Structure 1
Amino acid sequence: MTTAGSTVAASRNPYAEQAPVPTARFLHGLNPLAKLAAPLPAMILILFTRDLATPLGFVVLALALLLVGARLRAPAVVALLIGTPLGVAVLGVTFGVWVDPARLDDASTAASIVLLEVGEWRFTLAAYLVGLATALRVASIVLLSLIAGLTTTGPELVRALVQNLRVPYRLGYTALAALRFVPRFRHELDVIRAAHRVRGIDTGRGPVAAVRRSISYAIPLLASAIRHAERVALAMEARAFGAHHTRTERTVSGWRLPDTVFVAAFWLVTAAIVWWGLLAA
């Protein structure tokens, strides 16, 4: 029987077992390893494709999964829906400019369509299509990697690696502690810059002044980093980190049936897209 006092005590105890918080989007509830394993074969296959249909299919698939299964803010949604086609179009021109005309099929209709001509240099539709295929491959790989990147945090990935793939926890949590130094250093740098402004330190403008500012920031930032590293090392040693071969996990990251279903369904869709690309070619 649960009393009011025990309920209050449990709510104050950060180590008390908490009920799982339901997630509104399904990608956030999947195992991080499932979100890495599912698109991995597709990302490998994309490297060996040369057509337009296959990477385009994976771009549409990744966009659909991100929009339906991930919690995205409005700027991120706009960037995906508008930035992706614009980026692919621009990269298609950039990659198409570097295409060797000798490797193009001169007998094709696209090779005879000139989009831009400067002197003796011609930018044909065939060159743009080759560049567009390369841009689509790049975009598809980036979007497929965002399936795990936008829905998984560093601690979740480390827990999944340690508990599911048996990565030594000494390596996993040490790497996680090192990654957490980055926001700490960013905060310390903001504090140092604010302190310089309060003291009225003015190094001037221009590249030489930028180098002086960097040097003036480096020494106090290095001192702060050393102090923080010592505190982290003492905290880990006080908790006997690494003294035992195994570690009791506060949060369990297990492989469940939805993870298997997601990976299997993604691989089936991957095979269908590759088959469709072969037929379209």
Structure 2
Amino acid sequence: MAISFVPGPVTVRVPATSANLGPGFDALGLALGHHDEVTARVAPAGCRVEISGEGTGELPLDDGHLVVRAMHATFDELGGRPAGLALSCVNRIPQARGLGSSSAAIVAGVQLARGLVVGGTQLLDTAAALRIAARLEGHPDNVAPCLLGGFTIAWTEASGSRAVSVPVHPAVSPTVYVPGNRGLTEAARAALPAQVPHADAAFTAGRAALLSHAISADPTLLLAATEDRVHQDYRGPSMPASAELLRRLRATGVAAVISGAGPSVLALTEVPAGFCPGMDWQTHLFPVDVAGARIEGAIVGHAERDPVAAGRKS
């Protein structure tokens, strides 16, 4: 059956995210209250992208833009692409800082395509949207909180990626420290060894399990729950300023982690008054985003506690 497109523009609001959260490598993530907004409409032909904010003058203004690429992949799943597209992007999420800017672009594209197709959110449900976004990103740890909101646990099966969103305790108060320099996920992954000692893997698995409880029910356990032996120490030499800030925060009792692949640093508990990260850091207090990606102001990503809701039904 042929699909049809809505006549007017569609706007999507997508949150920044922080993945890994210490021990939850490639599995755990948190949505943050700092958003990109993208508006798209079907055009008679071609592809035109306008950008303001982060990435202005750097990102492609044609169908090479990541949002457009994600839209095309989603349109293909829905049954057909429109003749043309026009996009306007208001980018607030820092690029290449470990705050999920690429995942936000991918999720925005998936949601815009669903919103531009008549009945698109019924033809392609949230579970399918997650699978497409994770496939495009390569792993689900950032796209899951961006789409669903809150604290998410993501995993991958033969049928694709799945995730659940878990409520976050109101005492969790994210502080994000963003440096001026950028980081590359590829370089950060290249620093990781092919194998880790069994004792380190067991230690980190226990901390990841504890983190799921601490962030939802008992934030007093977050300092212990955010300990990691799988990736942060290996990445430290490539981002010495981030590693040092992480050490200083944790020495004061703050549950801090490298945000994603870095170089930003995320604190999940209250930072002592007067703590100074240094001149090279911008400090942001972001609430937890509980809604996830939104189309035209309507909540699209719900706090789905049933794993089937974020994966393919068997």
What TM-score, normalized to structure 1? 0.24
Which structure is higher in strand share?
2
Greater RCO (Cα-Cα under 8 Å, separation 6 or more): 1
Q: TM-score scaled to structure 2, two decimals?
A: 0.22
More helix by share: 1
